[in-house]
Chains A and B, each alone.
Chain A
Amino acid sequence: MDLNKIQNLKNQAISGILEVNSASELERLRIAYLGRRGELNELLKQLGQLPTNQRVEAGRQINDAKQAIEQTLQSQKNSLPDSSKINDWLDITAPGKKPALGHLHLISQTIEEIAHIFEKIGFQRVRYPEVEWDWYAFEGLNMPPEHPARDEWETFFIDNLHHPKLGRGVLTPHTSSGQLRQMEAQKPPLRMLNIAKCYRRQADASHAPMFYQFEGLLVDQNIAITHLKGVLAYFAKQYFGPNRQTRIRPFHFQFTEPSFEFDVTCIVCNGKGQIEGKRCPVCKQGWMELGGSGMVHPTVLKNGGIDPEKYTGFAWGWGVERLFMMKYGIDDIRLLFGGDLKFLEQF
């Protein structure tokens, strides 16, 4: 016999007792450990076999264990509910005691989902300023002042903020302002994922003055349109499900050439364009527009210090809210911002 054996027996007994929830079971354990022929008595009988110098310590520990087991038995007995002292009935239908459970905002949930999908193919998240110079938001992206393309980006300006070379301070109207920052920070190959707040001067059911975009940027040698299609189709299938079809169509942005609009087959009508003979309320002929993308414009690469003769790349910038609003059929973006618990609790 060694001292560990006493300790093990004690621990085993206590953990066994704590799991019991009927009086009869407790009595059974009491006899097994503390009874006349119980385990502890068995150990006491073996004391004589020990060398004298160990007997005292072993005796003390056995006593200790006995006390501890008795105490545990008593307290467990006290904690048994009355009904189970009478019989062993367990009401499975009574409500459980739930742990506290709050809610993560749909925006956070979606951002995490997007980040996971793109991390698997090497895109790293970054943080860049929300208050940014005109150069990064517009001019460096091939949109000089007064360019009509700027109309699409109704921009908030910041009072008293101006840089002699980089222009006015603006609230970033899109995550594309991260493109040049990334090119300045890293040489190709680069794979950036910029998920951030953006701001535009517009407010109605489908536009809030603040919203989120996720921007991808990949620059490397020999990057082609086929790669852009591959990456975006990979995302659409991961996010919306493997049966989605995707396509790109011609579009125009100043900072990509060529530029595309990216479509995925509608998740509501499954790409059919109609439901029960009526035009699908969500999509256009079975296709939903997800957002813009394109091959990075050579001027933008140059502005970012990258040789467009050596490298090509692609980028996209899509609305985060749009993704899940389509998924859940939420038709007013303004619900997302603020403290309406009736809304927040649903997710």
Chain B
Amino acid sequence: MNILVPYSWLKEHLSTKATPDQMAEALSLCSQSVEKINRVGNDAVFEIEITTNRPDCLSIYGIARELAAVLPRFNHQAQLKAMPELTTKIPVVKKSLPLKVTLQAPSLCPRFTALIFDQVKYRPSPKVIQDRLRKAGIRALNNIVDISNYLMLELGQPMHTFDYDKIKQARMIMRAAKPGEKVVTLDDQTRILSPGTIIIEDGDGRIVDLCGIMGGQNSAVDQTTRRVLLFIQSYDPRQIRRSCQQMACRTDAAQRFEKGVEPEGVMPAMKKAVVMFRTLCGAKVASRLTDIYPHPIQAKTVVVSTAKINQLLGIPIKIGEAQKTLNHLGFATKVSRQQISATVPYWRHDDINLPEDLIEEIARVYGYHNLPSVLPSGPLPLTITDPSFTWENQIKQALKYWGWTETVNYSLVSQQLIKQAGWQPDQCLKISNPLSLDWVWLRPSLLPSLTAAANQNQPDQVIRFFEMAHVYHPSESAGKAKLPEENLRLAGLINRPRFYQVKGVAEAILTEMGIKAEFRPLPGAKQAGQILINNQLIGTLGKTQDRMAFFDLDFSQLVKLASRQKQYHPAAKTPPVIEDLTFIVPPQTPLGELTKVVKAVDPLIKEVSLVDTFQNNFTFRLYYQAPQKNLSRRDVAKIRNKIILQVEKIFQAKLRS
């Protein structure tokens, strides 16, 4: 959460000569981060990002307290000023106006205080108050409401003011809202309360307050108000947070309450409010203080050893210096036997629990920027790199140098895409809270998004896209609390029906990974094939309906089967006899099968490859080679005749003479 802090307002609580820039530097390096300094007239306003663990800094005073601790480290003197209001006593009146309070759910409200003022004069606030509110981002309304906003900004304690005369029968019942209850809030909105929301009901059963979030319109202060009921509480942060989320309503007050407002901070705010009501509204206290606080917070003590401090910081720190830092920040400390025991100030009660928490305080005020940078020198862990990373990079590089371009597509796809691809929804994983209809399902295949990626471009460009990413399938024992299967796949696509290009690339990938595979027709598909290794399916390839050529490989499996092992064969001592044979082959003859048959004719045939194609004429190059002797013409002729016979017998193909 970001807050706006005027420099001039800070100076009311802090005596220092540090400039706004100097303050911003010290805060950013040692405390909370100053995002911006805005110049407003001759004042400066800091925009500060407050981390969730430091609700005590969501106030002018909280920032002043931090500055008092960190500025001296930058050689700027700084002293937190005492607030005289905090020593004033709340007047005890003889005749108290009545207020009957019932807390039906005390755990939701650790501390409940209320005080009634009479003779309140409704008018605009003085200019200095209006100015400060404006600089801090809140519009001034009238002196009564302004006091509550002013103190929320200054001390971090939200509060609410009711018109006392609008609380029927001077009776308040705090309880959790029931389903279906409604309230009209100060901003004229009718809000349906989520069950469990903390509310106040008056003697007539009307809901007068949406506690910690916003007051009800029926009890709001206006120019006719003479008697004000001031209301200062702390609430269960989780319930405030839940209500805000469910009702989609998050006020400045609620944001503070959901991060935690300490019950011990209630009374200082009440005391200063009494002073302000007197000075700004001419008001008099007209009731006894209601203060329901059944379980006061017990101060806690955390102990840390100097050894631990030095170990975590990486440099030795003087124990006296560490102690001084903690004292600056409001901790009461005792040093004994190389350890510090620190009593946590109430405003840090939720944040400080462990020795590490104290070390953070000591280290940040010392200044992280003042610590040296050192590479760790411990023993290196003995681990073996997962080979899939090396293969992934190697194959991606290869594809790049073969002319392919990598794309990265969202793992999340639309309902429409799931339908188009013909996937069964029960074989896919669905997002329960999708951000948009484009991102609802986890994709079980890369191809549809690759096609979409190709179609993003002008169709006259030849596009070769590939992607390597996880696909997701519910685990087979779904319902038995098992994470889904995430398989790394590699898919490629050309936006032209160039099947033999994708096949060539698939073959080259397999060769590069040292894998022998078989390509077979895919049963039931005319334009697609399967890639098998030892009869195990590891990929598919073919043409899509929109005339694109694709391959799709199970890369996780390929990595398991891959090998970098090479075998050395001494070069043959005899020269091969090389000849080209051209066959006239009937249509739809599988050339892969034909090649296999030729190769199997005789062990002296070392290699058969298709070198030329013209209509039905296919030219094969044959390498004949015997290990020990030079083959004679007669040797070769014998084998050749066998080839011609076999090819004719099995495929009805004829040698072209």
Q: Which residue numbers of A lie inside 8 Å of B, CB to CB?
A: 99-105, 107-108, 112, 115, 121-122, 124-127, 129-133, 146, 148-149, 156-164, 166, 169, 171, 186, 188-191, 197, 199, 201-203, 208-210, 218, 220-227, 229-231, 233-234, 246-252, 257-258, 260-261, 284, 295, 297-298, 312, 336-341, 344-345
A226 touches B313 (CB 8 A): yes
CA A226 to CA B372, docked complex, whole Å: 6
Given A100-B402, A224-B314, A130 and B486 contact (CB-CB distance below 8 Å): yes
Interface segment, one of B131-139, B266-274, B451-459 = B451-459
Given A125-B389, A158-B431, A224-B312, A186 and B383 contact (CB-CB distance below 8 Å): yes
> B407 contacts which of A124, A199, A338 (Cβ < 8 Å)?
A338
CA A223 to CA B379, docked complex, whole Å: 12
**Does B409 make an interface contact (CB < 8 A)?**
yes
Contacts of A247 in B (CB 8 A): 29, 368-369
> B396 contacts which of A104, A298, A336 (Cβ < 8 Å)?
A104
A344 touches B375 (CB 8 A): no
Distance (Å) between the CB of A180 and the closest chain B CB?
Answer: 14
Contacts of B463 in A (CB 8 A): 339, 341
Contacts of A133 in B (CB 8 A): 483
Provide the B9-49 mask, 1 if CB < 8 A to any CB of A, else 0: 00000000000000000001111110100000000000000
> A252 contacts which of B53, B407, B450, B454 (Cβ < 8 Å)?
B53
Q: Which of B258, B313, B372, B376 has the most CB of A within 10 A?
A: B376
Closest to A258 in B: B360
Given A189-B381, A224-B312, A338 and B429 contact (CB-CB distance below 8 Å): no
B461 touches A341 (CB 8 A): yes
A-B contacts, 23 listed (Cβ < 8 Å) = A100-B401, A101-B401, A104-B396, A105-B408, A107-B408, A108-B408, A149-B52, A160-B430, A163-B481, A169-B483, A188-B381, A191-B381, A197-B470, A221-B378, A230-B372, A230-B373, A233-B373, A250-B30, A258-B360, A298-B356, A337-B409, A340-B457, A341-B456
Q: CB within 8 Å of A: which of B389-446?
A: 389, 393, 396-397, 399-412, 429-436, 439, 442
> B412 contacts which of A112, A209, A234 (Cβ < 8 Å)?
A209
Distance (Å) between the CB of A166 and the closest chain B CB?
Answer: 8
CA A220 to CA B314, docked complex, whole Å: 14
CA A171 to CA B363, docked complex, whole Å: 35
Residues of B within 8 A of A (CB-CB), count: 93
Pick the 8 closest A-B CB pairs, nearest first: A339-B453, A100-B403, A224-B314, A226-B314, A252-B51, A258-B360, A229-B373, A159-B430
Distance (Å) between the CB of B462 and the closest chain A CB?
Answer: 11
Closest to A125 in B: B389
Given A103-B400, A158-B431, A339 and B454 contact (CB-CB distance below 8 Å): yes
Interface segment, one of B82-90, B224-232, B237-245, B529-537 = B237-245
A344 touches B406 (CB 8 A): yes
**Does B385 make an interface contact (CB < 8 A)?**
yes
CA A34 to CA B315, docked complex, whole Å: 83
**Does B128 make an interface contact (CB < 8 A)?**
no
Given A197-B411, A209-B410, A148 and B312 contact (CB-CB distance below 8 Å): no
Extra contacts, 7 of them, besides A159-B431, A191-B381 (Cβ < 8 A), are A101-B401, A102-B464, A108-B406, A246-B373, A252-B52, A338-B407, A339-B409
Q: CB within 8 Å of A: which of B238-279?
A: 238, 241-242, 258-259
**Does B311 make an interface contact (CB < 8 A)?**
yes
B408 touches A99 (CB 8 A): no
Given A108-B396, A146-B241, A132 and B404 contact (CB-CB distance below 8 Å): no
Contacts of A121 in B (CB 8 A): 375
Contacts of A345 in B (CB 8 A): 405
**Does B357 make an interface contact (CB < 8 A)?**
yes
Distance (Å) between the CB of A164 and the closest chain B CB?
Answer: 6
Distance (Å) between the CB of B542 and the closest chain A CB?
Answer: 21
B238 touches A156 (CB 8 A): no
A210 touches B411 (CB 8 A): yes
Contacts of B436 in A (CB 8 A): 203
A257 touches B408 (CB 8 A): no
Provide the B90-118 mask, 1 if CB < 8 A to any CB of A, else 0: 00000000000000000000000000000
Closest to B484 in A: A131
CA A146 to CA B55, docked complex, whole Å: 17
CA A202 to CA B436, docked complex, whole Å: 10
B376 touches A230 (CB 8 A): yes
Q: CB within 8 Å of A: which of B546-577?
A: none
Contacts of B454 in A (CB 8 A): 339
Given A258-B359, A339-B453, A227 and B381 contact (CB-CB distance below 8 Å): no
Contacts of B29 in A (CB 8 A): 247, 249
Distance (Å) between the CB of A245 and the closest chain B CB?
Answer: 10
Distance (Å) between the CB of A291 and the closest chain B CB?
Answer: 14
**Does B386 make an interface contact (CB < 8 A)?**
yes
Distance (Å) between the CB of A140 and the closest chain B CB?
Answer: 15
**Does B654 make an interface contact (CB < 8 A)?**
no
> A103 contacts which of B33, B312, B405, B469 (Cβ < 8 Å)?
B405
Provide the B352-366 mask, 1 if CB < 8 A to any CB of A, else 0: 001011011001100
CA A341 to CA B312, docked complex, whole Å: 49
Contacts of A115 in B (CB 8 A): 389
CA A16 to CA B381, docked complex, whole Å: 54
Provide the B327-368 mask, 1 if CB < 8 A to any CB of A, else 0: 000000000000000000000000000101101100110001
Distance (Å) between the CB of A299 and the closest chain B CB?
Answer: 8
Provide the B474-493 mask, 1 if CB < 8 A to any CB of A, else 0: 00001101011010000000
Provide the B287-326 mask, 1 if CB < 8 A to any CB of A, else 0: 0000000000000000000000001111100000000000
Closest to A224 in B: B314
Closest to B407 in A: A339
Contacts of B51 in A (CB 8 A): 250-252
